[in-house]
Amino acid sequence: MRVRKNIATSDEGFLFNPTTGDSFSTNAIGAEIILLMKKDIPTSEVIDTVCEKYDVDRALFERDLEEFTLQLKGHSILE
Amino acid sequence: MEKIRYERPFIIKMNAGLMNKFGTQSVNEPVTHIESVSVKGMLSEYGSPLFVISEKQIRRNYQNAVRIFKTRYPKVQFAWSYKTNYMNAVCRIFHQEGSWAEVVSGFEYSKALGNGVQGNKIIFNGPDKNDSDLILAAQNNSLIHIDHYDELYSLIRLSEEHGLKPRIAIRVNMDTGIYPKWDRFGFNFENGQAWNALTRIANSDNLELVGVHCHIGTFMLSPTAYAVAARNLCELAWGVKERFGKMLQYIDLGGGFPSTNTLKGAYLPGTDTVPSIDQFADAITDVILGYGFKHDELPTLILESGRTLIDDAGYLLGTVLATKRLSDGRRATILDFGLNSLFTSLWYDHKISPAQKLGNQTEEMVMFGPLCMNIDVVRESITMPLLQKGDQVVVHKVGAYNMTQWMQFITYRPPIVLIDNDNNTHIIRKGEDLKYMEELEQIPEHLV
Ligand SMILES: Cc1ncc(COP(=O)(O)O)c(C=O)c1O
């Protein structure tokens, strides 16, 4: 689960893939997760960090994260 | 440290089309209160889903429509179309405001009597009146609108047998330029059938001919069609006056004015495209006033408006049961109400608002009901903030044809709450339960 090296991200949640020319918009939590992923930390740590900060049930977040990851892969943001 | 409200992570590819959608945030303004009563409060008190009706809005709509017509024409009478919403509390609000009743079955007729409407202020329409309905209506001096020859001959026979002289009108169908034509009901204008029926009635000693009626369609978007209808009815009334020396008491133009809902497939929202009641009133009253009747013989103009008077007074509150991603990537939201409660989602793209403040991010989704069938779609495509299980939504403009056409399927029908003029809430129909549902069932001996 690694963010491709050439993907440009902004704190406001805009992403740009220079290879394809596609740009993307995420919400605040999405941007945060992508920043965490960029640090190459294990998934469990991403989950810990988010669950600490947000009022969310861990199981629910795990499910949402799994789906989010699938979407990121679909958009070729993750390798 | 207090935790931040969670929202599902979300990413969307940007393209030109999407920018627009991000620009229309106002569509997703949360609706937390209806007439200053808390949506959350009502849902926790009465359960979800829940129909809510605003008494104030009904009265505003009614008074507005009456004002629009009365400022243009001297004699106007509205008759509440029971089928549109026949909750007794709703009907009584209309009757308190001065509306008569328009009914199309023995069941609705009995409801109108039960709501205290005088017999001579009930209009009895429709093709399905049995002998005892006709006798009762005739005895009560109600206005019986004849739909077909079989009914006309039944009524003549019954009047002779029972020594009655019912007050009657005929329903007329015609070509007003609107397709499909509603020629299934009543007598046709163009081929002379309507005139023949009027002649038959005028020549009968047992019937009192008092009016002519039409209902040219529903959710009509053309004021011109009403001008055509008004002209045709005036022509019939004029004919009766000339030929039989008798002025008809009224011309009834039925219902059919649209509400501001958005029809499925319409490009623009209903609020932008639907003609106002003023435009219909202009079209109709210009024709009648200009037809040539003397002032003292002008017929009363009766209107049987339904949806335009109540749609925006009704709301359906509900809850998100689940969200998922479909195999084609679309987001799906499953609600605790579907086609069973919201019958009009077959015709309309109902406006749906979140009932609580959610994040700014929006996404396109399909909204399903909970029924186990493919057609149970509340909105095929709607852009909403990211919803999650337990979030609540408010569906707008559901006052017409839902609380009468709803289906009892798989689950109980929800309760209906009325918010009165002082913002107090009252249950006007309880939610169904097992006892109610099984009341009419009987188990044969061998299965006990
Ligand atoms: C005879 C008659 N009158 C009035 C109405 C009310 O129509 P609307 O709700 O379109 O105003 C109907 C509805 O079908 C009707 O059949």
In A, minimum Cα distance to B19 occurs at: A25
Atom of ligand 1 nearest to the CA of B257: 11
B170/B271 same-domain check:
yes
Which pair of tokens denotes residue B246?
A: 């008798």
Cα distance between the two ends of chain B: 62
* CB of B256 shorter than 6 A to ligand 1: yes
pLDDT score recorded for residue B59: 98
Q: Report, as ranges of residue numbers, the positions in chain B whose pLDDT lies below 70.
A: 1, 15-27
Ligand 1 centroid, distance to B437 Cα (angstroms) = 29
Distance B402 CA to ligand 1 centre (A): 14
Q: Rounded distance, CA A14 to CA B398, Å? A: 39
Range of the domain at B133: 125-305
Question: Quick one: closest CA in A to B362, which residue?
Answer: A27
Q: Which tens digits make up the pLDDT trace of B161-177? A: 999 999 999 999 999 98
Residue-wise pLDDT for B295-330, tens only, equals: 999 999 999 999 999 999 999 999 999 999 888 888
Q: Is the CB of B255 under 6 A from ligand 1?
A: yes
**Distance of CA B150 from the midpoint of ligand 1 (Å):** 23
**Domain assignment of residue B78, yes or no:** no
- Tell whether A78 is within 8 A of chain B (Cβ): no
Q: What does the alpha-carbon distance between residue B167 and residue B138 come to, in Å, rounded to a whole number? A: 7
Taking the C-alpha atoms of residue B217 and residue B209, their distance in angstroms, rounded to an integer, is 24
Check which CATH number belongs to the domain holding B354 and give it: 2.40.37.10
Cβ contacts of B358 on chain A, cutoff 8 Å: none
The answer to whether position A14 is within a domain reads yes
Token code pair at residue B127: 């093709």
The answer to whether residue A47 neighbours chain B at the CB level (below 8 Å) is no
My answer on whether B300 and B399 are in the same domain is: no
- Minimal Cα–Cα distance from A47 to chain B, Å? 12
Residue B89 lies in a domain: no
Residue of B nearest to A17 (CA): B13
For residue B417, being part of any structural domain is answered with: yes
B357 touches chain A (CB under 8 A): no
- Are B294 and B146 within one domain? yes
- With respect to residue B336, please indicate whether it lies within any of the assigned structural domains: yes
Flag whether residue A19 sits within 8 Å of chain B, measured between CB atoms: no
Residue that has been written with the tokens 């509150």 in this structure = B317
**Closest residue of B to A64, CA-based?**
B8
- Secondary structure letter of residue B131 according to DSSP: H
Tell me how many domains chain B contains: 2
**ipTM of the shown complex:** 0.93
Q: Is residue B198 part of a domain?
A: yes
- DSSP state, B268? S
- B41: helix, strand or coil: helix
Write out the H or E segment, with its range, that includes residue B278. Answer: helix B277-290
Say yes or no: CB of residue B81 within 6 Å of ligand 1. Answer: yes
Q: Is there a single domain that holds both residue B364 and residue B398? A: yes
**Structural domain contains residue A1:** no
Are B233 and B195 in a shared domain? yes
Q: Note whether residue A3 is domain-resident.
A: no
Domain-terminating residue out of B305, B326, B351: B305
Domain-embedded: residue A56: yes
B206 and B339 both lie in a single domain: no
Higher pLDDT, B183 or A43: A43
Count up the domains in chain A and report the number.
1
pLDDT digits (tens, 9 = 90+) for B376-433: 999 999 999 999 999 999 999 999 999 999 999 999 999 999 999 999 999 999 999 9
Task: Give the 3-state secondary structure of residue B327.
Answer: coil
Residues B290 and B340 in one domain: no
Q: Are strands B4-5 and B208-213 parallel, antiparallel or unpaired?
A: unpaired
Q: Does B328 touch chain A (CB under 8 A)?
A: no
Same domain, B376 and B248: no
B421 and B277 share one domain: no
Q: Residue B391 domain-assigned? A: yes
How many inter-chain contacts (A to B, CB under 8 Å) are there? 65
**CB distance B306 to ligand 1 below 6 Å:** yes
pLDDT of residue B27: 63
User: Which of A16, A29, A34 is the mutation pick for testing B, counting most B CBs within 10 A?
Assistant: A29
Mean pLDDT value across chain B: 93
Considering the domain boundaries, does residue B325 fall inside one?
yes
Interface contact B11-A15, CB threshold 8 A = yes
Residue B318 included in any domain: yes
Q: How many Cα atoms within 13 Å fall on the side-chain side of residue B406?
A: 27
Burial (CB < 10 A; 0-12, 13-18, 19+), residue B255, is buried
| CB B328, CB B68: distance < 8 Å | no
Which among B268, B283, B305 is the end of a domain? Answer: B305
| Of B55, B57, B37, nearest in space to B46 by CA | B37
Give which of B7, B11, B365 to mutate to test A binding, by max A Cβ within 10 Å.
Answer: B11
Is any atom of ligand 1 closer than 6 Å to the C-beta of B106? no
> Which residue would you say has higher pLDDT here, B240 or A11?
B240
What is the per-residue pLDDT across A25-36, written as a single tens digit (0 to 9) for each? 888 899 999 989
Residue recorded with tokens 């959608």: B21
Cα of A27 to nearest chain B Cα, Å: 6
Pairwise CB contact (< 8 Å): A67 & B7: no
Residue that terminates a domain, selected from B252, B270, B305: B305
Q: What is the pTM of this model?
A: 0.88
pLDDT of residue B13: 82
Q: B256 and B132, same structural domain? A: yes
The pLDDT value given to residue A4: 86
Q: Structure tokens of B219?
A: 């959710």
Q: How far is the CA of B255 from the centre of ligand 1 (A)?
A: 4
Going from the Cα of B305 to the center of ligand 1, the distance in angstroms, rounded, reads: 6
